Amino acid sequence: AQSVAQPEDQVNVAEGNPLTVKCTYSVSGNPYLFWYVQYPNRGLQFLLKYITGDNLVKGSYGFEAEFNKSQTSFHLKKPSALVSDSALYFCAVSLDNYGQNFVFGPGTRLSVLP
Amino acid sequence: GAGVSQTPSNKVTEKGKYVELRCDPISGHTALYWYRQSLGQGPEFLIYFQGTGAADDSGLPNDRFFAVRPEGSVSTLKIQRTERGDSAVYLCASSSGQGIDTQYFGPGTRLTVL
């Protein structure tokens, strides 16, 4: 069975500094990996996904993520954090073409301090 | 007709009552998903529809939970004899159903069982 870990409950970073939100996964086949962001009282918004190809994936709002197969990781990064990036971030993994086996991590709360 | 919509946004009910939660997916999306998100946790898969049929209902916690999508568009999640432990945010998502497609989420329905 697949699983996703987000080892940090909370990440604090100063505005303008680079940010990293960590995600590791465990699957028995080829993983399809996603990052979503959740703002207070709102649904999840899609940021980016890795299906195949380049290990570095670029997404919305300046975010990117690097797929590392040997380390089974898919860390989310941004070169320069904004206060408005403060939110809850979820990593998810899917094994199949239709995504019905989306498994989400527990989430990481990112706080960007002015 | 932008994104996924869900009604009601909030539902408060008493233990033992019956509730229905509605999801209106993105127009043209054949795949529809229900998730449950408890406080401080990531979304948990409940059920997935491809068209009118439930392709995977393995995430439904017990037979008090049931979902339908009679015309392949709007879906209703039904919970009988609600319990306090059912309190959570119920999220709906839809996707094109083709290949490894992104799931787009609605804002959720916050269910509180008193």
Q: Which domain holds residue A99?
A: 3-113
Q: Among A72-86, A91-105, B28-42, B94-108, which is the least confidently predicted range?
A: A91-105
Provide the 8-state DSSP code for A99. -
Provide the 8-state DSSP code for B101. P
A98 Cβ under 8 Å from any chain B Cβ: yes
Cα separations (Å) of A34 from A15, A85, A89, B112, B114? 25, 17, 11, 29, 35
Residue B1 pLDDT > 60, yes or no?
A: no
Rg of chain B, C-alpha, whole Å: 13
Domains of chain B: 5-98 (2.60.40.10)
Residue A101 pLDDT > 80, yes or no?
A: no
How close B9 gets to chain A, by Cα (Å)?
A: 10
pLDDT per position as a tens digit, B6-25: 999 999 999 999 999 999 99
Of the residues A46, A51, A102, A108, the best mutation for testing chain B's interface (the one with the most B CB atoms within 10 Å of its CB) is A102
Residue B89 pLDDT > 90, yes or no?
A: yes
Cα separations (Å) of B114 from B65, B78, B88? 18, 17, 12
Most confident of A5-9, A27-31, A38-42: A5-9
A35 Cβ under 8 Å from any chain B Cβ: no
The pLDDT > 70 percentage for chain B reads 99
pLDDT per position as a tens digit, B97-114: 777 788 899 999 999 999
If you average pLDDT over every residue of chain B, what do you get?
93
Residue A97: pLDDT band (50, 70, 90) is low
Residue A28: pLDDT band (50, 70, 90) is confident
Kindly report the CATH number assigned to the domain that includes residue A24: 2.60.40.10
Q: Which of A42, A46, A100 sits opposite B102 (nearest CB)?
A: A46
- Which residues of chain B neighbour A4 with C-beta distances below 8 Å? 42
* Cβ proximity of B89 and B111 under 8 Å: yes
